[in-house]
Chain A
Amino acid sequence: MTTLLSSYQPLPGTYDELLTADGPRPAFARVTDALGAMSGDDLARLQQLAELSLLQQGVTFSVYADNRGTEKIFPFCVMPRLIAAADFAHLERGLEQRLRALGAFLDDIYGEQRILAAGVIPPEMVLGAAGYQPTLRGVKPAGGVRIHIAGVDLIRDPEGTWRVLEDNLRTPSGVSYVVENRAISKRVFPRILDRARVHRVDHYPTRLAETLRAVSPRPGADTTAVVLTPGPYNSAYFEHSFLARTMGLELVSAPDLFVDGDVVYVRTTRGPRRVDVIYRRTDETFLDPEVFRPDSVLGVRGLMRAYAAGNVALANAPGNGVADDKAVYPFVPDMIKFYLGEAPLLAQVPTLVCARDDDRRYVVDHLDQLVVKAVDEAGGYGMLMGPQASAAERAEFRDRILATPRRYIAQHRVELSTCPTWIGDRKELAPRRVDLRPYVLTSPTGPWVLPGGLTRVALVDGSYVVNSSQGGGSKDTWVLKSGGAI
């Protein structure tokens, strides 16, 4: 009898998360026996069950900003992505180290700027970053934390080495799918999940609420923390609502808030109530029209004055964009050495910085081999996949790079690792490329890594782009507990 896994073929020259050419990886034996024993019809039925329950629960994202509110479920593949205990322990240490260094970097850049004075990073790379907010220099955030929530994107190269691709230090999204995907796995694979012994992820909201309360300028029972959303038309609205609900906090939008005497209040049916911590899921340029966009009617007038006065904590702190700028990214290993005196535990992707003359010359001569990215864009936009692009597209990027070199970096394309992924119309498993976004919460006592993460998968055959806006989906991520292999 052919089972699902026995007919599965990993891609040559690529690391497969579940199998080698000789069969399943030994660390996963206790799971692959059971998963592999299923037939195509079994998995088709489970996949259908999963999609139906996501739709009925309204686990959706808004597609168009119109009144009819077109919503879609985030495409989901029931086949889980597995991570061995030892692998995750390594990631955990590496991420903690990275977040400590990035936090120190932000404190320094909005303070003394020692790292620039020491010549470790060229000042123009930092001070010229779109995310650098010179007006915030000298402002110390309430509670002393700047990166309360980070969602660091990692990929795995053909040797199986984890590499950081991007540090998302502003408003990383996706964690609600981590929790909801697990709820689906519990429904469709109860026995296999039990057998696999997987770390739980459903305590994330509780840990997040603790992280937020820990930075309140008025500690104690009276502290009010809220989640700030742009509103139900926002594509990530489900997540904003999910987090508010599971933390027991109120979900507010900007018109619900106002500032009086540098203190933030929320309008309630019992009059104004003071707000101490805002988990803001709005872009920082829409936080306060007084500071960022005088022409904007969005945002809360005076919010930044209240923040600078230390009367309200904002998570994440405004100004963090300077640390996850793609042209600052190549210097993170130097930051780790400079601030912590440690060798970096996590690798990253070698990066050419077009602002440097040598790098730029190499990039424009080798566009057909490189992936070029605009430093201030995300979501898979503003990038050139050199090997697949047309000559005209490459010529256009060449002109753009020469016009504004500071805006571009380039990397050699990494062969992202693959996972067996359910292909509904062929009723079989095929290798599809994945990344991993673990979530790191930082409170005044230090960072904590959720043992899990969002696995995004490029569902289109041959694609390297995992973003949900461009044909990506997600998988549940099972971080196995150590020991006790059966």
Chain B
Amino acid sequence: MISRVADHAFWLGRYVERAESTARLLATTHNLALDAELEPAACWRPVVVVAGEEAGYAARCAGDLAAWGDGERVETFLAIDDEVPASIKRSIAAARWNARSIREVVSLDAWEALNELYLWSSGDGARADFAERRFAFYRRVRDATQLVLGLMRSTMLHDDALDFIWLGVMLERVSQTARILDVQHHAYTSISNRHEVVETSLWLSLLRSLSGFEPFMKQCQGKVDAEAVAGFLIGEVRFPRAIAFCVQAAYQRLAAIRPPTADDLPGGATLARLGALHELVQRRDRELRGPAVHELLTLVVDESHAICESLGKELFGQG
């Protein structure tokens, strides 16, 4: 397929996933902050960091330290702010823009679902829902993005275009899960006066933000601690938001686009790099405690960034 089209397909997938992921994180944190016995800033600062908007938020709040614990302000900033590149509203607009740029490859059903989400999110409806029915707002973003992804899978040709969209979804999810886990892991393990009940509620909240609460409980049968949660969200290949699952799915999509044996086609270096990451995150022979978790997750974030750059060079015609 045309390199530019592949690029738009990839980013379409990434932005849809990012909108959903941000909605999940905000909803869960909102919930957590209501009854967690935590400093508000300990709840909300990690959310801003995960979104990659630490500098943007600091600039916006201009030295007002209380802003870091102001959940309402963080939510408004990351949900409906037009000026914030990582906001849900901007992610939806960017997803829709990419889809519109390749309208000839996106199915009509998927396009209409995404366009309706965009029309809602850019209009008065979303502002009213956000102000008066906060959870309905997040719910709608999650439902609509899932509808878009589902319609793509059920109404589009299963060929390169869908593979690139899905590659974008999976690589975005890899870095979202890695950053959420890393930031929260760091914040929680460094809280002084740790209390077992508080800590457990934090881990459960983290799992909920990734829809991983019930699957985790099935796997770990009630044993909730830092090591078990990190092990699950990094290495569980059967859970669709765990890093190992997403890296494996990304590898499969790229291998469909550019088979490992097709040495005459571009993309070989990216595939090899993704394969190496796949090996790394599946390893079971290590302890996932303290700094080791942070080191591994940093490596995952850096590697997925490098893989996206390599995709740009090899397949999207960027230099």
Are the chains A and B members of one assembly? Answer: yes
Please give the residue numbers on chain A whose beta carbons come within 8 Å of chain B beta carbons, in ascending order.
55-58, 68-69, 231-232, 237-238, 241-242, 244-245, 249-253, 255-256, 266-271
B186 on the A face (CB < 8 A) = no
Bound form: Cα–Cα A69–B98 in Å: 12
Chain B residues lying within 8 Å of A238, measured Cβ to Cβ, are 103
Q: Are A57 and B112 closer than 8 Å at their CB atoms? A: yes
Interface pair B266/A269, CB less than 8 Å apart: yes
A269 engages B104 (CB within 8 Å): no
Nearest opposing residue in chain B for A55, CB measure: B119
Task: Report if A269-B267 is in contact (Cβ < 8 Å); known contacts: A57-B112, A58-B111, A250-B104.
Answer: yes
How far is the CB of B181 from the nearest CB of chain A, in Å?
A: 32
Q: In which size bucket is the chain B interface?
A: 20 to 34
Chain B residues contacting A57 (CB-CB under 8 Å) are 108, 111-112, 115
Does residue B6 face the partner (Cβ distance < 8 Å to A)? yes
Contact of A245 among B5, B93, B104 (CB under 8 A): B104
Which residues from A are CB-within-8-Å of B315?
269
Tell me the bound Cα distance from A285 to B102 in angstroms.
Answer: 25
* B4 nearest CB neighbor, chain A only: A256
Contact present for A267 and B317 (CB under 8 Å): yes
**Residue numbers in A under 8 Å from B1 (CB-CB):** 250, 268-270
Question: Chain B CB within 10 Å — which of A58, A68, A267 has the most?
Answer: A58
Classify the interface of chain A: helix, strand, loop or mixed.
Answer: mixed
- Contacts from B to A (Cβ < 8 Å): 1-6, 93, 97, 100-104, 108, 111-112, 115-116, 119, 160, 257-258, 264-267, 315-317
CB distance from A411 to the nearest CB of B (A): 39
Chain A minimum-CB-distance residue to B5: A250
In the assembled complex, the Cα of A251 lies from the Cα of B102 at a distance in Å of 8
| Inter-chain contact A269/B101, CB cutoff 8 Å | no
Min CB distance B151 to A, Å, is 14
Q: Which residues of chain B are within 8 angstroms of A232 by Cβ–Cβ distance?
A: 97, 100-101
Known contacts A58-B111, A245-B103, A256-B4; A269/B97 CB under 8 A: no
State the Cβ distance, B124 to closest chain A Cβ, in Å: 15
Q: Write the chain B residue with the least CB distance to A248.
A: B104
Q: Is the CB of A268 within 8 A of B3?
A: yes
Docked pose: A252 CA to B116 CA in angstroms:
26
How far is it, in angstroms, between the C-alpha of A149 and the C-alpha of B189 when the chains are bound? 68
Q: Are A253 and B4 in contact (CB under 8 A)?
A: yes
Q: Determine the chain B residues whose CB is within 8 A of the CB of A58 once the complex forms.
A: 100, 103, 111-112, 115
Do the beta carbons of B104 and A244 come within 8 Å of each other? yes
- 9 A-B residue contacts at CB 8 Å? A57-B115, A58-B115, A231-B101, A251-B102, A253-B4, A256-B3, A267-B317, A268-B1, A270-B266
Partner of A69, one of B97, B119, B258: B97
From A231, A245, A266, A269, give the contact of B6 (CB < 8 A). A269
